[in-house]
């Protein structure tokens, strides 16, 4: 079968190749899935460089999440051949066939396509864990979402809007602000380069933001500490800007806000019942049409380099989905 393999870690993807390998053998407790769609996440790019928290040893097949049809499963797994499933482990999704732990899979919600299911998993789980589970989002609150044109950012905008929040979508790309209002339904869309606290103050009549979701880090984090309302939360999701920021303890003390680290996958592993409840709630919202992932483009797996390069250059608006069978 065809699989995208990281044979050597490198900063320029030179160690990553689409190759022919033997079909995977199903291990104990695993389900064999013919992959129909697999979505690209920023950690997939980081893992090719050995710069993600999870560091698999090469060679490995990359791809965190996918959707497809069950080929084989244990009788007690809860799945049967021909079931439409979605999910994934930390690796293995960018291939024609994947062997995935049964616990890491769920049924594709009724009426949801393979592409949408693959695009909805990690991004919406992260957004829900951050905003609702850890952030305590309530209808009517104001949420500032950085990196709003990326997969997690758009998911956060979509989810917050569905739950009745006022959304300020922020991006470093001025050419994307119009689309954030049109596609993401944001109440306001701004650029977050330089000093943006005054803009936030104007948009909120001086009240600032109840929640700030930050997958960017660097200077954006620094300025965001000035944008959180008293009693609010600054939700740290990642550091795509490259610089991991630091904060003096007196800042959240004086301003009365909390800094909360968000590791959605680890949260679900440590609290599996809550992880299941989060996934169930996301599926419910999807079935009702309340949320809908925005897919930037769909590519055959043979065009993997185009997809990875587009993500690294910040060109994507939403999720990119590969179709291994094309």
In this prediction, residue 3 has a pLDDT band, given cuts at 50, 70 and 90, of very high
Q: What is the pLDDT of residue 54?
A: 87
Indicate the pLDDT class of residue 175, thresholds 50, 70 and 90.
confident
pLDDT classification of 241: cutoffs 50, 70, 90: confident
Mean of the per-residue pLDDT values for the chain? 94
Please report the pLDDT score of residue 208 as a whole number.
98
DSSP code string of 162-227: HTT-EEEEEES-GGGHHHHHHTS--SEEEE-SS--HHHHHHHTTT--EEEEEESS-HHHHHHHTTS
Q: Quick one: average pLDDT of 216-243?
A: 95
Query: Could you tell me the sign of the dihedral formed by the alpha carbons of 220, 222, 227, 231, in that order?
Result: positive
Percent of the chain with pLDDT over 90: 82
What would the pLDDT profile of 139-164 be if each residue is shown by its tens digit? 999 999 999 988 899 999 999 999 99
Is residue 295 pLDDT above 90, yes or no?
yes
Rounded mean pLDDT of 63-75? Answer: 95
In this prediction, residue 318 carries a pLDDT of 86
pLDDT, tens digit, for every residue of 35-56?
A: 999 999 989 999 999 988 889 9
Q: Which domains does the chain have, with CATH numbers?
A: 2-108+294-323 (3.90.180.10), 124-265 (3.90.180.10)
* 316 or 204, which is more confident: 204
pLDDT (0 to 100) of residue 210: 98
pLDDT at 52: 87
Helix 151-162 and helix 114-128, axial crossing angle in degrees, nearest 10: 80
pTM: predicted TM-score of the whole model, two decimal places: 0.87
Instruction: For residue 227, name the pLDDT band (cuts at 50, 70, 90).
Output: very high
Give residue 74's pLDDT. 93
Q: In sequence order, what E strands does the chain have?
A: 2-6, 16-20, 30-39, 60-61, 65-72, 84-87, 97-101, 105-107, 142-145, 166-171, 188-191, 209-214, 228-236, 258-261, 295-300, 319-323
């Amino acid at each position: 079968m065809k699989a995208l393999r990281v044979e050597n870690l490198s900063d320029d993807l030179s160690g990553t190749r689409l190759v022919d390998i033997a079909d995977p053998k199903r291990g104990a407790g695993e389900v064999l899935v013919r992959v129909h769609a697999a979505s690209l996440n920023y950690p997939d790019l980081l893992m090719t460089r050995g710069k993600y928290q999870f560091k698999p040893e090469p060679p490995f097949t990359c791809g965190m999440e996918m959707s497809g049809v069950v080929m084989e499963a244990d009788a007690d797994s809860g799945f049967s051949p021909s079931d439409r499933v979605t999910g994934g482990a930390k690796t293995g999704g960018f291939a024609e066939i994947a062997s995935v732990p049964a616990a890491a899979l769920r049924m594709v919600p009724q009426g949801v396509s393979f592409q949408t299911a693959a695009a909805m998993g990690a991004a919406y789980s992260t957004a829900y864990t951050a905003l609702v589970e850890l952030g305590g989002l309530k209808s009517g609150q104001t949420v500032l979402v950085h990196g709003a044109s990326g997969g997690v950012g758009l998911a956060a905008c979509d989810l917050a809007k569905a739950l009745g929040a006022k959304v300020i979508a922020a991006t470093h790309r001025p050419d994307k602000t119009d689309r954030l209002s049109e596609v993401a339904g944001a109440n306001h869309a701004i650029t977050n380069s330089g000093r943006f606290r005054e803009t936030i103050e104007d948009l909120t009549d001086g009240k600032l933001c109840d929640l700030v979701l930050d997958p960017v880090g660097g200077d954006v984090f620094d300025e965001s500490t000035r944008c959180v309302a008293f009693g609010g939360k600054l939700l740290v999701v990642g550091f795509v800007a490259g610089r991991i920021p630091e904060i003096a303890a007196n800042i959240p003390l004086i301003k009365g806000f909390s800094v909360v680290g968000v590791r959605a996958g680890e949260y679900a592993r440590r609290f599996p019942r809550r992880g299941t409840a989060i996934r169930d709630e996301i599926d419910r919202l999807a079935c009702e049409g309340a949320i809908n992932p925005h897919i930037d483009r769909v590519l055959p797996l043979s065009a993997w380099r185009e997809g990875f390069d587009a993500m690294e250059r910040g060109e994507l608006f939403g999720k990119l989905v590969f179709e291994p069978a094309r």
